[in-house]
């Protein structure tokens, strides 16, 4: 008995002169298979990868720098007077913008939440409780908190970030609840290096205002200088809650600001290094090459098999004595 161990197709070789049309056509098809994918890949936007992105949850912490500005009115012998209460841990030059009677020491409590216990907080909580005297009412609250912001997964960056929120109401209030998300924003891509980038070490947020700024334009000056940076963090608060004052005007109370800062993973744009650029380009070229080369091989087979190009066909057959050895 005889069993088939291997079966191979008959190989056909098509031969022609070196300078014949058939040979030139075969070379042209090989060149098309090699260079057409390259031209198609170069025509795409991402063949040479210039910018890439990844997701990372930043490490965010509190720096202890807080500015709270409460505005409203107070009654003095039946007359209503404007009221401004300021609590600040910013440099002294900022506190000097306000008169001494406007400075009011507040109790600041901070905490962080790390659910998965990976050492990176998912949220930060800040509570600012400002004591109020009799007949003092608050109708507007402005809170400025400076954070320490760090990226360290791939592109490394450390900077101070600004959280600013202002809310006003026609009704006197005793509490403001703010729950928002902290997003990373960048105008230029980051470079991947082994060292940490400190772009604003010489110009911290607390030093952005000058002595020429008035107390009315203080927050605007801080926000304007901060927004001019290439790398910032924006605080988005979709649904703040203002709690109306329910206490009697004859009972001293306090105004509380509850600030919940949620830290979600962010998209970080960076400049890829050359191994990543080569890998991305090779994948695109190879995928196009497989498609184009398959089409050119099929076209070449069709041209020669149907004798559309003149050539001599040589068929390689197995040797009879080699086949008869296993009869």
pLDDT of residue 275: 92
pLDDT of residue 164: 94
Phi-psi region of 64 (alpha: psi -120 to 50; beta: other; left: phi over 0): left
Is the distance from CB of 6 to CB of 313 less than 8 angstroms? no
State how far the Cα of 215 lies from the Cα of 194, in Å rounded to an integer: 42
User: What phi and psi, each to the nearest 5 degrees, are found at residue 210?
Assistant: -120, 175
pLDDT tens for each residue of the chain, 327 residues long: 566 555 666 777 888 888 889 889 989 999 999 999 999 998 887 888 889 999 999 999 999 999 999 999 988 777 888 999 999 988 877 777 888 888 899 999 999 999 988 889 999 999 999 999 888 899 999 999 999 999 998 899 999 999 999 999 988 888 999 999 999 999 999 999 889 999 998 888 877 665 567 777 888 888 988 999 999 999 999 889 999 876 555 555 899 999 999 999 999 999 999 999 999 999 999 999 999 999 999 998 888 888 888 888 887 765 555 444 544
Contacts of 122 (CB under 8 A, 6+ apart): 57, 113, 114, 115, 116, 262, 263
Contacts of 104 (CB under 8 A, 6+ apart): 70, 85, 86, 87, 130, 131
Tokens of residue 197, six digits? 């980038």
State how far the Cα of 95 lies from the Cα of 89, in Å rounded to an integer: 8
pLDDT of residue 31: 94
Question: Is 169 exposed, middle or buried (CB count within 10 Å of its CB: 0-12, 13-18, 19+)?
Answer: middle
- pTM as predicted: 0.79
How distant is the alpha carbon of residue 199 from its chain centre? Answer: 17
pLDDT of residue 234: 94
């Amino acid at each position: 008995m005889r069993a088939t161990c291997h079966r191979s197709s008959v190989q056909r070789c098509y031969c022609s002169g070196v300078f014949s049309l058939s040979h030139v056509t075969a070379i042209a098809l090989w060149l098309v298979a090699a260079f057409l994918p390259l031209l198609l890949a170069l025509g795409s936007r991402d063949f040479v990868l210039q910018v890439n992105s990844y997701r990372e949850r930043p490490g965010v912490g509190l720096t202890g720098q807080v500015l709270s500005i409460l505005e409203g009115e107070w009654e003095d012998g039946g007359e209503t007077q404007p009221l401004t209460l300021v609590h600040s841990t910013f440099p002294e030059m900022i506190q000097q913008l306000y008169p001494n009677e406007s400075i009011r020491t507040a109790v600041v409590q901070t905490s962080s939440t790390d659910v998965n216990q990976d050492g990176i907080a998912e949220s930060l909580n800040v509570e600012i409780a400002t004591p109020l005297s009799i007949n003092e009412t608050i109708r507007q609250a402005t809170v400025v908190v400076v954070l320490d912001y760090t990226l360290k997964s791939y592109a490394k960056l450390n900077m101070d970030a600004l959280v600013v929120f202002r809310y006003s109401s026609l009704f006197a209030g005793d509490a403001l609840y703010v729950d928002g998300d902290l997003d990373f924003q960048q105008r230029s891509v980051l470079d991947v290096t082994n060292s940490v980038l400190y772009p604003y070490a010489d110009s911290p947020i607390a030093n952005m205002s000058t002595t020429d700024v008035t107390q009315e334009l203080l927050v605007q000056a801080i926000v304007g200088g901060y927004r001019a940076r290439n790398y910032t963090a924006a605080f988005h608060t979709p649904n703040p809650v203002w709690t109306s004052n329910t206490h009697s005007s004859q009972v001293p109370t306090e105004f509380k600001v509850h600030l919940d800062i949620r830290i979600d993973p962010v998209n970080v744009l960076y400049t890829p290094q050359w191994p990543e650029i080569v890998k991305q380009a090779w994948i695109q070229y190879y995928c196009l090459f497989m498609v184009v080369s398959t089409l050119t091989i099929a076209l070449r087979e069709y041209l020669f098999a149907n004798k559309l190009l003149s050539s001599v066909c040589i068929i390689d057959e197995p040797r009879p004595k080699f086949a008869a050895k296993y009869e």
